Amino acid sequence: MTSTTHHYAVLVVFLFFVVGALFLSVWAASYRDTTSDFYIGGGRLTATRNGLALFGDYMSAAALLGNPGLLALNGYDGIPYVLGPAVAWTVIGLLVAERFHATGRFTVGDSLADRLRPRSAHLAAGIATVVVCLMYLVAQLVAAGALAAPILGVHGTTAERVVIVSLGSLMILYVIIGGMPATTMVQCFKAVIMLAGGTVAALMVLARFRWNPGALLDTAAHRSGHGDAFLRPGVRFGSAVASKLDSLSLQLTLVLGAAGLPHLLMRIHTVSTARDVRRSIRWATALICSFALIGGVLGIGAAAVLGPHRIFTDSPSGNTAVLLLASDLGGSLLVTLLACVAFATILAVVAGVTLTAATALAHDLYGGVIVRGAISQRRELVVARAAVLLIGVVATALSLFARDLSISFLIGLAFAVAASAILPALLYRLYWKGFTTRGANWSVYGGLFSCLLLIALSPQVSGTPSAMLPHADFAAFPLRNPGLVTVPFGFFLGWLGSVLDRRGEGLPRR
Amino acid sequence: MEVTVGVVGLYVLNAVLAETSRDFMAATVVGPLNVGFALALFLLAATVGATQWHGRRETRR
């Protein structure tokens, strides 16, 4: 990526202006100092803006860089990464959003607590939320570090650490000052430039192939070295039984996990009526599915224009494929544009997830468990801001150690925990009157710990040359993604706990 | 509810087909577009369609 090296000055100037403008607008914005304003912007957001912000909250660096790269290298087998997170919006939009909006005020814990014993509900949901958010945050910050070399043109461990720490502290400060209104602002901004940049790049790809998608597919298959096999299943996952199950497990996790991601759920509370919830979901889904298509065109386009060899030599994971493509299509101007989009993307997601984790700490764990609701707004706000600082510092520190972990592994982990620990309890809470506190505890803790255990025993952690601990071998579980086992397990425990609870008591209890 | 189950069901079916009947997924629809890619495009359209339909229907009620 030598062509971009001398343009990092442009990027730095751009970021400086963006960040300056963001801080100024937050400082100037009318802002009432209440918990409701800090957590959910007072619930006064318009549906259109919330739709944009949901898009901005959801689309991470993976959607812009990682997934098109996987598509470019693996052809058809890259599709699940693009498709799963988009199809997930039928679950969020049709099953979860409105009912979730009607229960609770801010967090998943609130939603569980208004039917179950409040203290254990806040504790379980708070812990699961913090775990999911930390994994998600670490993935985003590691991605930011990995972008340092190809985008900023600076190499080495120190440069990556500087990027991680500066992004992390920037967002801590930003969220502490502005809370949800500021987070919404950066997410809307990011959504607009990501859609614009992605559309321009995708149109340039299509123009290169004379607006003929067939020619694009043909060229990609031809240049990939796989021929027609590129366009059919099997390039990445092979045909062993374990790898087929692994692929299924990943897809199940992707399509269900999104509906359990706490930062999306909290965003649903930022509008006031059920009608606005539906309108924001319609906006968000339309934008997310359009971007899935854009990502598809970019991925296949990268394969067709560059060929897999150039992509693989620059980054074996394919993370830089889109940037290489941009430099080939539009020169340094387009690369700089997409680099800015990539950083804005990471800033927006980090802000949203940090705020959500801090809300879980301050509102669920401190307010709901430690002081049991006996807390003034003023005091909870102080705790919430301290929690932003704590979460931000912990996530940044973890990211410095997690630098070598694959970004898609970390994101897959966060989705798996969300799908196995949060989603079952949430769906039971929203749809089943017989759900009890014991059921909630069993499904949240059971889903959480089974997920973490199976990941520790998976080939991701030990037993293979590419694992975290390549020299150890305690990989007793054959799948890289535990979702196929732990998601049904979480649902089963929630049912079992509730049934046993009621049988023991003789009647439904709170 | 039924629509969600339908779309997610089709998605899971798509995933299972990709693992079990690869020749079917590679069958030609139009030119280089095969069943696998066509299904993926259809699922994207179905997701947008389902949320738009749901939003309008509930608002009219």
Nearest to A233 among B7, B18, B58 (CB): B18
Cα–Cα distance for residue pair A252/B19, rounded to 1 Å: 14
Q: Which of residues 250-269 of A touch B (CB under 8 A)?
A: 251-252, 255
Provide ipTM, 2 decimals.
0.93
* DSSP bridge partners of B34: B28
3-state class percentages of chain B: helix first, strand second, coil last, to nearest 5: 80, 10, 10
* DSSP bridge partners of B33: B30
Taking the Cβ of residue A303 and every Cβ of chain B, the question of whether any pair is shorter than 8 Å is answered with no
Answer whether A87 sits within 8 Å of B44, measured CB to CB: yes
pLDDT of residue A89: 95
Q: Which chain B residues have a beta carbon less than 8 Å from that of A285?
A: 47-48, 51-52
pLDDT of residue A480: 85
Residues 6+ positions from A366 with CB-CB distance below 8 Å:
A375, A380, A383, A387
Residues 6+ positions from A18 with CB-CB distance below 8 Å:
A189, A340, A344
Predicted confidence (pLDDT) per residue in B32-43, tens digit: 888 989 999 999
Count of other CB atoms within 10 angstroms of residue A363: 26
> Nearest-CA distance from A87 to chain B in Å?
6
Nearest to A248 among B16, B46, B55 (CB): B16
User: Which of helix, strand or coil describes residue B30?
Assistant: strand
Predicted confidence (pLDDT) per residue in A436-468, tens digit: 999 999 999 999 999 999 988 988 888 777 777
pTM of the model: 0.91
Residues 6+ positions from A271 with CB-CB distance below 8 Å:
A43, A45, A46, A47, A50, A101, A277, A280
Q: Is the pLDDT of residue A320 over 50?
A: yes
- The answer to whether the beta carbons of residues A243 and A237 sit under 8 Å apart is yes
Answer whether B19 sits within 8 Å of A233, measured CB to CB: yes
Predicted confidence (pLDDT) per residue in A77-106, tens digit: 888 889 999 999 999 999 999 999 999 889
Task: Pick the range with the lowest mean pLDDT from A52-66, A151-165, A316-330, B25-39.
Answer: A151-165
Residue in chain B closest to A75 (alpha carbons) equals B37
Q: Is the pLDDT of residue A243 over 50?
A: yes
> Nearest-CA distance from B44 to chain A in Å?
6
- The answer to whether the beta carbons of residues A345 and A96 sit under 8 Å apart is no
Sign of the CA dihedral with A192 first, then A195, A201, and A206 last:
negative
Taking the Cβ of residue A287 and every Cβ of chain B, the question of whether any pair is shorter than 8 Å is answered with no
Arch. (CATH architecture) of A3-414:
Up-down Bundle (1.20)
Taking the Cβ of residue B29 and every Cβ of chain A, the question of whether any pair is shorter than 8 Å is answered with no
pLDDT of residue A7: 57
pLDDT band at A29 (very low <50, low <70, confident <90, very high): low
Taking the Cβ of residue B52 and every Cβ of chain A, the question of whether any pair is shorter than 8 Å is answered with yes
Q: Residue A346: what residue type?
A: I
The token pair at A179 is 């809370």
Taking the Cβ of residue B54 and every Cβ of chain A, the question of whether any pair is shorter than 8 Å is answered with yes
With b for 16 or more beta-carbon neighbours within 10 A and e for fewer, the A380-416 pattern comes to: bbebbbebbbbbbebbbeebbebeebbbbbbbbbbbb
Locate the domains of chain B by residue range: 2-60
Nearest to A278 among B1, B12, B55 (CB): B55
Q: Which chain A residues have a beta carbon less than 8 Å from that of B59?
A: 275, 278
User: Which of helix, strand or coil describes residue A33?
Assistant: coil
Taking the Cβ of residue B38 and every Cβ of chain A, the question of whether any pair is shorter than 8 Å is answered with no
Tell me how far CA of residue A195 lies from CA of A64, A323, B51, in angstroms: 10, 16, 20
Q: What is the mean pLDDT of residues A185-195?
A: 92
> Nearest-CA distance from A98 to chain B in Å?
10
**Secondary structure (DSSP) of A39-66:** HHGGG---HHHHHHHHHHHH--HIIIII
- The answer to whether the beta carbons of residues A157 and A138 sit under 8 Å apart is no
Taking the Cβ of residue B19 and every Cβ of chain A, the question of whether any pair is shorter than 8 Å is answered with yes
Sign of the CA dihedral with A480 first, then A483, A489, and A490 last:
positive
- Best mutation target, A58, A96, A232, A237, to test chain B (most B CBs within 10 A): A232
